[in-house]
Amino acid sequence: MTLEPEKLGPDDVRPVLALGVSRQAVEDAMNVAFLFNVLDRLADTMGWDAPAEGSAFWQTSAKILLSRGYK
């Protein structure tokens, strides 16, 4: 999806659907992958750094995600 998105096609998705994954779940996964790709490229371009491992940011974020989930 990142380097050659034009090569991604139905034959790449069929095995996943055959395992019982819904079309909506496949679409959601593709959207998440796309957004991660965009954010990763922006971070690289602009020199953004992630907070240090073990910082309060990660602890707080984990608590929020565990209590409310993704919205």
Confidence class for position 56, pLDDT limits 50, 70, 90: very high
Q: Which residues, in sequence order, are CB contacts of 57 under 8 Å at separation 6+?
A: 51
| Model-wide pTM > 0.85 | no
Write down the domain spans for the chain: 5-68
In tens, the pLDDT along 28-41 reads 999 999 999 999 99
Q: Which residues, in sequence order, are CB contacts of 51 under 8 Å at separation 6+?
A: 57, 58
pLDDT number for residue 70: 73
36 vs 70 pLDDT, higher one: 36
Q: How many residues does the chain have?
A: 71
In the block, tokens 């090569």 appear at 7
